[in-house]
Structure 1
Amino acid sequence: MKALIDEWKHMISGKTVFILLLAPIIVSVVFGYVFKNNQINEAPVAIIDQDHSSYSSQLINKLDASQYVNVKSVYENNVDPNMLLYNEKYFAVIYLPSGMEANRMQGKQSNIGFYVDNTVSQATGNLRTGVTEVITAENATLAAGSLKASGLTDGQISGMTSNMVVQQRLLYNPTNSTMMSSVLGFVNTVMLSLIAGAALSIIPRLRVEGRLQEEMQNPMGILLRVLPYALVGCISFFLSIGLLKQVGGLRFEAGMLQMLIPFMLYTTTLSLFAMVIGWTAPNPDKASGRIMLLMMPSFLLSGAQLPVAMLPGPLQVVGHILPLTWHFKFLRGMGFRGGELRYFIPELGGILILMSVFAAIIFILMVIEKRKLSKMEAKEAEVPVPQQQTLAHS
């Protein structure tokens, strides 16, 4: 009983009570808000209309009217579906072949292409259901009985009632392999903690060693300190993916030389972000505790746990501040979908802007740190003056 009372006094003497009470509430609110959209009802799709007919326009409108489908773009010319799926602008591409209206009038089948990006399978389940419902409804518009009475053969009736057949292809991850989702997400989370954890302690370590003021005389030198961690992290990514391909059968289409640029940009940007977070920590031990400020948002908002499109709008915007969000864009677009680096100029520009912002923040923090140190030196210089005057009078 005495031990129990002693432990209770120890607990209420600090912040433990508030942490135990508030942390579950905060986590419940955050997770409840993040995962409130458990499905996507308006999945963006592109349609390649090769028929250019009145009926193809009607069918496009019916698809767009589905609660699960958002026809974002219609292309009149033939386009490679992969080109439209590389950058995650669309979740699927629907291909309407030429002669579709004529085939419907003649009772012939038309094969509609339905190219689904299955690297984000959580986001495409309802989309596939919606497209199937629309096509099924179109095929059932004519009654089989009245067609039979008109003298049509069974083959013609089948063509009229099942005039369109959706040929669905699950692209990039047809087997729903967890290697491309959970496993790679876990690997990236571990890598993030290792790289960011090392970069977090750079400035606090220099501060403890008394070298920070001297090092800040060369601002670029401060920034360059993240490169060793970025380079080792980049190498580690290559090794991890190689092992996952050999041991786990990971499907990874991008060439390693092409992935070198986005990998290095990611690890460098991540290291700079970690340096910003750890800058004000008084020592490395205090800095290491801040890793959760980076890990938790990255885990929730970058696409590691669920597709970014399923997040609330404001959180999608916040997610673009996280380097891991851009990393997954390259990883999925180039590694999983096989897109070449030239297709990702906007993403390269985005992560370069993010890197520049973090570098600018570090320069601002250096200016603030220099002013703080100058004030401290000025105060220290003023202290001996009164003491010297007192000795002279005595």
Structure 2
Amino acid sequence: MKALIDEWKHMLGGKSVFILLLVPIVVAAVFGYVFKNSQINEGPVAVVDLDHSSYSSQLITKLDASQYINVKRVFENDTDPDMLLYNEQFSAVIYLPAGLEANRLQGKQSNIGFYVDNTVAQATASLRTGGTEVITAENAALAAGSLKAVGLTDSQISGMTSNMVVQQRLLYNPTSSTLMSSVIGFVNTVMLSLIGSAGLSIVPRLRAEGRLQEELNHPVGLLLRVLPYALVGCISFFLSIGLIKQLGGLRFEAGMLEMFIPFMLYTTTLSLFAMALGWSAATPAKASGRIMILMMPSFLLSGAQLPVAMLPGPLQAVSNILPLTWHFKFLRGMGFKGGELRYFIPELGGMLILLSAFAAIILVLMAVEKRKLSKAEAKEDRAQISQSQSLAH
């Protein structure tokens, strides 16, 4: 308990608590506001109309009526799409070929060109959806008219043109909001950096102050030194998510009390991982450089940017030793999907095993460190005895 109180005093006496609380909150507020719009509606489109017909004009009107498309300009002559896309004045160019109306009346196929600027794929995903919807509707209308002309009823036509209908529902994130991916990933990367840096510096600081040997006599007290940073980090998580929810409209369904358990487990496990990683550093300054050893694998393998299922098999196994991987399971399963804690008993067990493993590693490091110090003391005692004997002679 003395060690825990000492660590609280150290944290409160410096800037650590303000950094742990304020930096994630500021990041969450800024990014939550910046990325509050989850999709682009009314994407700017240029149409090159080479048919100049009544039907091509109707089709352009229907394209412009889509919530995803804004036909900003119509060109009557053949135009190079590159020239229209270079300066990002348009996000796509649609080519309506000559003979479009005639081919439609004769039941012939027409190839409509759809040139999309895919340098930023997220910006044009809705645009592609809108274009596909309009053309699909036009094809269905044409087929229905032809079948009705041969005497089929509306019910028969519907059965032939839409025999099977997929009723798709996008669950949990229907608008493909980046708040649940990029923003949350960035906030967690910042939090990992701050909590990890605090954990890395605990043992090197005690070593530099000459207090490590005394702390080794109280193993539990040394382990408890991570709790102040874990608790403040947990509080910072709640405040950050609350801000993103208020400013950006993040969908977060989990209750605060239930989410506290996995959040606290994560921050504690992360702090112990960092403590083990920074153990051998001579000073806090030398330990700080090791944060990249913690951050890079976590960023790449935990599912922050790339789904774990897309990783090669061996890397999926490695990802299970990263606290951030388990944190995202709880964050997505409970926070985004609204699952209750009782559905995540296996994940809780996995997190507890990981926490115990890091604690065991630290206990082993304590034993090794204590043995090294004992040998050094014994060597120093022998040297003093030898020196005393030499002086006596």
With the shorter chain as reference, the TM-score category is 0.5 to 0.7
Deviations 1:161-184 (A, max 9, x none): 522210111111111111111111
- Secondary structure class of the residue paired with 1:339: coil
- Counterpart-to-counterpart distance in 2, 1:367 and 1:223: 13
Q: Percent identity?
A: 81
Deviations 1:147-204 (A, max 9, x none): 9999864522431452221011111111111111111110000000000100100001
- Counterpart-to-counterpart distance in 2, 1:365 and 1:374: 14
- Describe how 1:1-394 pairs up with structure 2 within 5 A: 153-393=153-393
Gap regions ≥5 residues in structure 1: 1-120, 130-135, 137-142
In the TM superposition, what is the alpha-carbon distance from 1:312 to its structure 2 partner?
Answer: 1.1
In the TM superposition, what is the alpha-carbon distance from 1:250 to its structure 2 partner?
Answer: 1.1
In the TM superposition, what is the alpha-carbon distance from 1:385 to its structure 2 partner?
Answer: 2.1
Name the larger-Rg structure: 2
In the TM superposition, what is the alpha-carbon distance from 1:280 to its structure 2 partner?
Answer: 0.6
Q: What code does the residue aligned with 1:358 have? A: F
- Counterpart-to-counterpart distance in 2, 1:148 and 1:235: 65
Please give the TM-score of this superposition, normalised by the length of structure 2: 0.61
Please give the TM-score of this superposition, normalised by the length of structure 1: 0.61
- Secondary structure class of the residue paired with 1:171: coil
Q: What code does the residue aligned with 1:351 have? A: M
- Counterpart-to-counterpart distance in 2, 1:240 and 1:150: 63
- Counterpart-to-counterpart distance in 1, 2:389 and 2:260: 65
Q: What code does the residue aligned with 1:244 have? A: I
Would you say how many aligned residue pairs link Structure 1 and Structure 2? 258
Cα 1:240–1:149 shift into 2, 3 Å: closer
Cα 1:150–1:177 shift into 2, 3 Å: closer
- Counterpart-to-counterpart distance in 2, 1:372 and 1:153: 91
Match of 2:75 in 1: none
- Counterpart-to-counterpart distance in 2, 1:209 and 1:198: 16
Q: What code does the residue aligned with 2:246 have? A: Q
Q: What code does the residue aligned with 1:220 have? A: V
- Secondary structure class of the residue paired with 1:165: coil
- Counterpart-to-counterpart distance in 2, 1:235 and 1:337: 21
Deviations 1:203-224 (A, max 9, x none): 0111111111111111111110
In the TM superposition, what is the alpha-carbon distance from 1:313 to its structure 2 partner?
Answer: 1.2
Deviates more, 1:383-392 or 1:364-373: 383-392
- Secondary structure class of the residue paired with 2:167: strand
- Counterpart-to-counterpart distance in 2, 1:227 and 1:386: 46
- Counterpart-to-counterpart distance in 1, 2:386 and 2:317: 57
CA RMSD of aligned residues (A): 2.7
